[in-house]
Amino acid sequence: MEVTEKMKITKNKMVVVTYDLQIDDSQGELIEQATLENPLQFLFGAGVMLPKFEEYLSGYKQGDEFEIKLSKNEAYGELNNDAIVELPKHVFLADGKFDDELVKVGSAVPMMSNDGQRLNGLVLEVNDETVKMDFNHPLAGEDLYFKGSVVEVRDASDEEIAQVLSGGCSDEGCCPDDSSMGCGCSC
């Protein structure tokens, strides 16, 4: 019987991992989980994950466990006060009406920048004339601690590579449904 060596995580491999994501360290607040039922799946080296996250996973194999700590500068950076803006309320009009169910304090509202980049903004305040929004990543300013395991490493098909590089996802998806990891997929 021939024994095959497990495939290592390298560029253009499909990688499936589970993890617990906590703020700061293993004792910090649990903010996200990728489970066996809903794992994180991504094309390694395609630029859809945090670069340092991928760097730390490079070379791991199926069954390997990992613990990764990313400083805020390796993750989503410092909070940027310039990303907190007040927008005129008329920007949010649909059919001449302001949707106060969608645009309310605490809501994440999908927006588009002047250059067509999709952004999610968190509504901080709604006034008579303006809406104050925070366009920082929800994890900006936080050190992140991942503890998990590599579930699968396999060659990506040409179709999967093309799909991910064009901004799509594979049929199985890519991110846990509630992921804040910013996988870069449009699913």
* Cβ count within 10 A of residue 145: 21
Phi, psi dihedral angles at 16 (to 5 degrees): -125, 125
For the chain, helix, strand, coil in percent to 5 are 10, 35, 50
Tokens of 115: 């250059």
Supply the pLDDT for residue 112: 85
pLDDT band for position 62 (cuts 50, 70, 90): very high
pLDDT for 170 beyond 70: no
Domains of the chain and any CATH numbers: 13-76+140-165 (3.10.50.40), 81-134 (2.40.10.330)
Q: Is the pLDDT of residue 175 over 70?
A: no
- Higher-pLDDT residue of 182 and 48 is 48
Cα distances (angstroms) measured from residue 18 to each of 26, 74, 86, 159 = 15, 20, 38, 24
